[in-house]
Amino acid sequence: MTFDLATFLENAGVGRKVVHLDPKQVFFSQGSPADSIFYLRTGRARLTVVSPDGREATVALLSSGDFIGEESLASVGGLHLATATAIVVCTALQIAREEMIRVMYEERSFSEMYTKFLLARSMRTQADLVDQLFNSSEKRLARVLLLLAEFGEPGSPEPLLPPITQETLAEMVGTTRSRVNFFMNRFRKLGLIDYNGRIRVRKPLINVILHDHFTEQETPVNAR
């Protein structure tokens, strides 16, 4: 029987099941047994780690098409290194470790797809590290907003972010809620975002990251 990659990732079967998560529900927790991997079909999630003194940091933002929990493949009896939490309603395929290893070994198309994912994840992790080391908290906030909006898809309208609090944004950026509030108000005044219950990201926000460009728009959104 010919292996169909799309069918494998869309349907339950031996060693895999479809799971649904509401916002703030966890796929797995830091320190829990790493015995399965998740393929995020729809929704958004984030990976967080907690230090021994209780400080939390967001290490990755995840969207549809991402795998979550790849440390499960490293060794039998391993533990998850982070907590994966749904930001919005999510649907995912949970794949048992043994089934994931089997299909990677037997199906070349799956192995190639997963290898490309791991390379992209590695590059994104490096970009996140550079962002934390060298960029201001204002730039980091702009980048988080763009990532949450999945900015950059050709032909897509200026998108609405999933419901998210300033406290959560502050955790992702690594700053305080008051600083996030200050920057959000500044972005809105400059017409870079619109906020009316939900945040709408405007395309010029990318200039904050690329050029430190804060020139006010001719007709700010909130002046309408």
pLDDT, tens digit (0-9, with 9 covering 90-100), for 58-88: 788 888 899 999 999 987 888 999 999 998 8
Q: How far apart are CA 118 and CA 122, in angstroms?
A: 6
Rg (alpha carbons) of the chain, rounded to whole number: 19
Query: CATH 1.10.10.10 region(s) of the chain?
Result: 135-223
What is 135-223's CATH topology? Answer: Arc Repressor Mutant, subunit A (1.10.10)
* Least trusted range by pLDDT, from 33-42, 111-120, 131-140: 131-140
5-132 homologous superfamily: Jelly Rolls (2.60.120.10)
pLDDT at 95: 96
pLDDT at 144: 87
Q: Is the pLDDT of residue 155 over 60?
A: no
For residues 115-133, give the mean pLDDT: 82
Q: How far is CA 57 from CA 54, 183, 212, in A?
A: 10, 20, 25
Query: CATH 2.60.120.10 region(s) of the chain?
Result: 5-132
Q: Cβ neighbours of residue 23 under 8 Å, at least 6 residues apart?
A: 86, 87, 88, 89, 162, 163
pLDDT at 215: 45
Average pLDDT, the chain: 84
For residues 12-41, give the mean pLDDT: 94
Q: How far apart are CA 145 and CA 39, in angstroms?
A: 23
Q: Under a CB-based contact definition with an 8 Å cutoff, are residues 82 and 59 in contact?
A: yes
Q: Is the pLDDT of residue 219 over 50?
A: no
Best-predicted range by mean pLDDT among 44-48, 94-98, 219-223?
94-98
